[in-house]
Structure 1
Amino acid sequence: MVFINKAFIVSISLLISFFLKGKDQQQYSLHGYAQGTDYSIKYFAESPVVTQAAVDSILLKIDSSMSLYKPYSLISRFNNSMDSLSIDAYFVAVMNKSFEIFKDTQGKFDVTVAPLVQAWGFGPKPINLFPDSAEIKKLLQNVGMNYLELKGNRLLKKKPGIHIDLNGIAQGYSVDVVANYLVSKGVTSYVVEIGGEIRMKGPKPDGSAMRIGIEGPALNEQSEPQIRHVISFNEGAVTTSGNYRKYLKNGGKKISHLINPKTGYPLDNRLISVTIYAKDALTADGYDNAVMAMDIEEALAFVNARKGMEAYIIYHRKDGSVTDTLTSGFKKMIVN
């Protein structure tokens, strides 16, 4: 698949209006900046049981584990190691899910794509030139999750040149960690959003459901992105992978940040964005990347074959025009 730097690609707009009914609970809102993007949390409780300081502390710990932009992080230390490193529980959880998705998608999702992401200009360091075919061929020698092994809390690499990038899945995991923290504080109605990745649980205290606006490119792709649908559900997560916001240009050609780990080149297919619904954000965030690497028929068949997963897909027709499609379960979530 495709592996991506997700923090800036996704834009799922929150269209959530909370209305208080009753005198026991009230709405609390938190807003901040972490992991290279904004976050927003809304929850109901009798008192402010969750503070911004607590949330910032959680996200800082996750960054210290898996951020490529922090030289002291565990992932940076692993990438600079020759063979192995002991990692924390956050890192272990994300790697376990990454191995699962790698196998389930037959390698369309691959966290060892880091050298390619960097070579094409989407990593933590700036580049001056795009790679040529010889460099791509060389980089591919160090790509493949079969070169990784997780033994307990120790992550091993079978080649010293193996580097990993978790930007395409770790943000969804961050959403889950924060959501689980809210639950541990007794919160039963909430929305957690980090960089457009969302997990929520409802209904609101008045019994009504929460709503989320799903954004996508305008039909002519020249105008600003717009809300394509509004969906509602009581519990679960939605995340989006797309190529219409984050890209570079090589002459007149757009270079997608989505890199194919099998060819070494940016993805160049008909899909524009994929929004996945799943029970948790870690699952949705990992799979939305993989589905982006598929053609439209394969993508729909793949999602339909997996229990508890739904998808909304925006893509180009063969004539270049923009259209969309969705699974039957996703259609049921749309608010008319």
Structure 2
Amino acid sequence: MKRFTSSASYPVLMLCILLTSFSAKNNIQKIQLAGFAQGTTWHITYYAEDSIATKKQVDSILNKLDSSLSIYKKYSLISTFNRAKKGITIDDHFAAVIRKSIEVWQSSGGLFDITVMPLVQAWGFGTKDVHQYPDSAKIKLLLKCTGTDKITLRKNYLSKKKPCLTIDVNGIAQGYSVDVIAGFFEKNNIHNYLVEIGGEIRVKGRKLPENEKMKIGIEAPGDYDETTPSILQKIVTLEDGAITTSGSYRKFHESNGKKFSHTINPETGFPVQNELISVTVFANDAMTADAYDNVLLAMGLTKAMEFVEKRNDMSAYFIYKQPDGSIADTASTKFMKLISK
């Protein structure tokens, strides 16, 4: 799962925002905001007659979300729940993420599981550094403290069947944060915008006054730094919806010359290993896209393609490694329509 962290990190597959500047006409301005939150950067572009939304307002919203969902804040609600023996009363943000997490857990056959926090920590992708990776015996013990079927949400009270059960919503929280910011813009009658947090993007409307659709570049796999421009694999054109990515080529650990992914298989307790390098998902909202890019990555290419082709609410683009080691890409039928020729 992607991390929702307190120190600088980068999205597994960065989605590069392609926006063309223009001189204001008809009193419409292109307003850009940027900042740092959730261990990564955020960028917003919107079109309005004046600066209705400010950086201070966005920061305030993100700080509130951190107080609810960040495992890196000891005072957060999620940290309080993880320390509790039975359960706690949670806020509406936390409840919304839990409800969606349970829904995705059910539809994915358990591949999306927010209770894998003990495993995430054991493999060194959590809040603490590890000096030794777990063996099969340790994994077997940790699996006894996992399972979304062991948590229950009634109204806003979240309970757990075992005191050792802890949760980590990093695979869905950033997408939810994007949706919350988008909702804030809608309430302020801003209907042409692009919101991006750590590479998770939601778009509404068009670039004004040209009345052009937004364009988003999907980065090709490779090693990049701040001085090296990324190479775009594909460009997609959007007018309404969200696009997120999960991948394995940037977030991994290496042991004895062998790399392993940050995505944990909830059934085995071990990192996912398959041919997929990255999965980009398009959906109506960023929370849905964010959750399912993890699911599809864990499935492997064949199962993931079959799964997404049956869904009416999402589409996906895959970059994968072929048996001969070469890199290839493919996309579901509906995603193909988004790709700019």
Match of 1:309 among 308, 311, 314: 314
Is the CA contact (8 Å cut-off) linking 1:59 and 1:174 kept in structure 2? yes
1:296 offset after TM fit, Å?
Answer: 1.1
Contact 1:18/1:204 (<8 A) preserved:
no
Residue equivalent to 1:263: 268
Where 1:100 maps in the other structure, the secondary structure is helix
5+ residue gaps, structure 1, are none
* Normalised TM-score (structure 2): 0.94
- 1:250 partner letter: S
Give the SS at the match of 1:111.
coil
- C-alpha displacement of 1:119: 0.3
What is aligned with 1:244?
A: 249
Partners of 1:80 and 1:248 in 2: CA distance: 28
1:216 to 213, 217, 220: 220
What letter is aligned with 2:155?
A: G
Aligned-partner Cα distance in 1 for 2:4–2:299: 18
d(CA) in 2 for partners of 1:311 and 1:141? 33
The answer to whether residue 204 in structure 2 is matched with residue 162 in structure 1 is no
Task: Kindly indicate whether residue 125 of structure 2 is the aligned counterpart of residue 126 of structure 1.
Answer: no
1:8-27 correspondence runs (5 A)? 8=10, 9-19=12-22, 22-27=25-30
Three-state SS of the structure 2 residue aligned to 1:298 is helix
Aligned to 2:104: 101
Identity in percent: 48
The Cα shift of 1:322 comes to: 1.1
Q: Which residue, out of 180, 183, 188, partners 1:180?
A: 183
Deviations 1:166-216 (A, max 9, x none): 001000000000011011111110000000000011122221111000113
2:45 is aligned to: 42
- The answer to whether the 8 Å contact 2:24/2:30 transfers is no
State the alpha-carbon separation in 1 of the partners of residues 47 and 21 from structure 2.
9
Count of equivalent residues: 331
> How far is 1:20 from its partner?
5.0
Flag structure 2 segments of 5+ consecutive residues without an equivalent: none
Shift of 1:10: 3.6
Letter in 2 for 1:294: M
For 1:193 and 1:215, the matched residues in 2 are separated by: 15
C-alpha displacement at 1:225, in angstroms? 5.5
- Aligned twin of 2:326: 321
Distance across 2 between alignment mates of 1:147 and 1:113: 12
Separation in structure 1 between the aligned mates of residue 36 and residue 97 of structure 2, nearest angstrom: 22
- Equivalent position of 1:207 in the other structure: 211
Q: Which amino acid aligns with 2:271?
A: P
How far does residue 21 in structure 1 lie from its aligned partner after superposition?
Answer: 6.2
Q: 1:280 and 1:36 mapped to 2: Cα distance? A: 22
Q: 1:230 to 1:53 in 2, by over 3 A?
A: same
The offset of 1:143, in angstroms, is: 1.1
The whole-number CA distance in structure 1 between the counterparts of 2:188 and 2:2 is 33
Q: How far 1:57 moved relative to its partner?
A: 0.3
Segments of 4+ in structure 1 off by > 6 A? none
CA contact (8 A) 1:271 1:295 kept: yes
Whether contact under 8 Å (1:217, 1:224) holds in the other structure is no
Contact 1:249 1:255 in 2 (8 A): yes
- The alignment status of 1:142 with 2:140, answered yes or no, reads no
Deviation at 1:224, TM superposition (A): 8.1
**In structure 1, C-alpha distance between the alignment counterparts of 2:85 and 2:339, rounded to whole Å:** 49
Query: Partners in 2 of 1:192 and 1:14 — Cα distance?
Result: 10
**TM-aligned CA deviation for residue 75 of structure 1:** 0.4
Partner SS, residue 13 of structure 1: strand
CA RMSD, Structure 1 to Structure 2 (Å): 1.5
2:3 is matched with which residue? 5
Deviations 1:30-68 (A, max 9, x none): 010000000000000111000100000000000000101
The Cα offsets for residues 71-94 of structure 1, whole Å up to 9 and x where unpaired, read as 000000000000111000000000
**Which protein has greater RCO, CA pairs closer than 8 Å, 6+ apart?**
1
